[in-house]
Structure 1
């Protein structure tokens, strides 16, 4: 094993250890265990169906998403700002970023999303269930799936939550678009927008010290995406990249979304 592979392995051990400790803490909560059992008791939502995960990279602007009307679509984060969001009536919308807990992202985004797609299911991390921010949504019956990531990888961010949910819900195929994996490069050199809607204001003005952390996280992200691709091959999971371009070379590709002229 070479030096850099050894460094990657060392990080694997550290990150997995931290996640195991966090998982142990959550497992000691009777409330979270009860909610998790309730989620697991629900029938799988994806049997005989395909899932289309739409992430937020700039390439999403180049593809015609209107062909996905009537399909099971899933958006994330600021994805509800896409001009076709209401027309597509997405089935799911996912948040996992702690920016929502810190108030950087307003929790009222959930209200905006539900107003645009009333039958949508909001997917949130299981451990957020006890946070008072979400109590009003629980009390008024907003459709929320409290998700516990089933994948053995810890650096996949919101995309990992999407893929984990699709696998757990037994979707036949999981397609994903808008996953360029080049956003940090655009942030660093300001050569283009990092997302289809522009740039995140909270990410502007970063120092080189912050970019050191971001680059390490991006490295971990690509590493776990490669591990996920191998995992899918081993477990016969059909995870298919339909992004227009982008960096990811570890997943099979299909061209099923027409390009806009």
Structure 2
């Protein structure tokens, strides 16, 4: 029984074949050499992008203290976020529930998944419009979103910073948002590296449930699953349809393989934080992310 159109299945096969080739090449060369090869290629093939990310140097060590990174997980529905009203907060993707965070103006908003800005009027533009109207100044975008950002005039609405990604993370290597970053499974990982670069000494994760694989499997099986069940944010009907189209484009085995690596990459990022004397905590209520030390936000009420 076919679940998707022939075209989508064809796209899925291309993704599978490409990812399989990457894994074979990495196994042949070793992660360190494979990553170095990719970074060299990206710098040569994307000179304009490399030039643009150099702009990010103005953000080096401009901050201190702590920040809070909000994912989009379902735990956000019940967690008290108003306590963040006077804190530095990073948001991402469709998040625009600013009243939930006590009316705080996020320090920055992040989107690294190029699929979110595809099409003539992608639903994520509604979230970005609310970010703009609430006074969010900094917008971090994956470098492959450059044309989309120009198409939708985002560079005129925000101070846009691009993040170039494309190679596996290598232990012991220095990373900065002014150069090629590792390619991660989620935008949250990139936010953590950006926070370190900007000078934060303590980073707290919220809404990082890491249960999206269950939502994907349910949607794949039923085709009629409510996508909003897997998110802790308000999603329009159009946004839900867009997310379901995005999910259907990658074969389920590739989606689950990515989630299997998700926890390893969190551990890698945690080790990077430790090496840079940065404290990383998971303040998500519930969820399955255990590779990052747990914390509660009770200390905020005492400040």
Indicate the TM-score class for this superposition, using the shorter chain for normalisation: 0.7 to 0.9
Judged with a 3 Å threshold, the aligned counterparts in structure 2 of structure 1 residues 81 and 198 are, in CA distance, closer, same or farther, namely closer
SS in 2 for 1:201: helix
Unaligned runs of 5+ in 2: 1-22, 166-174, 220-224
Partner of residue 160 from structure 2, selected from 128, 144, 158: 144
Q: 1:86 to 1:121 in 2, by over 3 A?
A: farther
- Residues 103-129 of structure 1 deviation map (CA, whole Å, 9 limit, x = unaligned): 2834634333201x2143111124533
**Which consecutive aligned stretches of 4+ in structure 1 deviate over 4 angstroms post-superposition?**
11-16, 27-30
Whether 1:186 and 2:186 are equivalent positions in the alignment is no
Q: 2:141 aligns with which of 124, 142, 147?
A: 124
Aligned partners of 2:56 and 2:182: how far apart in 1? 21
SS in 2 for 1:80: coil
C-alpha change, 1:155 and 1:125, in structure 2 (3 Å) is closer
TM-score (norm 1): 0.79
Secondary structure of the equivalent of 2:135?
coil
**Cα 1:194–1:155 shift into 2, 3 Å:** same
Q: 1:31 to 1:108 in 2, by over 3 A?
A: same
Change (3 A) 1:227 1:123: same
User: How many pairs are equivalent?
Assistant: 248
Report the counterpart of residue 50 of structure 1 in structure 2: 66
Q: CA RMSD in A?
A: 3.5
The aligned residue for residue 88 of structure 2 is 72
- Indicate if the aligned counterparts of 1:89 and 1:120 stay in contact, CA closer than 8 A: no
In the alignment, which of 39, 47, 59 is matched to residue 75 of structure 2? 59
1:102 aligns with 2:118: yes
Deviations 1:39-61 (A, max 9, x none): 213453322x2110011101111
How far does residue 174 in structure 1 lie from its aligned partner after superposition? 0.8
| 3-state secondary structure, aligned to 1:171 | coil
The answer to whether residue 189 in structure 2 is matched with residue 160 in structure 1 is: yes
Equivalent residue, structure 1, for 2:172? none
Q: Deviations over 1:140-184 (max 9, x none)?
A: 352222234637743332011111110111101111100010111
Q: CA separation of 1:20/1:62 partners in 2, compared to 1, >3 Å: closer, same or farther? A: farther
1:113 matched residue in structure 2:
131
- Give the structure-2-normalised TM-score: 0.69
Structure 1 SS opposite 2:230: coil
User: What is the CA deviation profile of residues 14-39 of structure 1, one whole-angstrom value per residue up to 9, with x for unaligned ones?
Assistant: 79837843663345544333322222
Tell me the equivalent position of 2:259: 218
Of Structure 1 and Structure 2, which has the larger fraction of its residues in helix? 2
C-alpha distance in structure 1 between counterparts of 2:276 and 2:72, whole Å: 27
Q: Distance in 1 between matches of 2:189 and 2:29?
A: 16
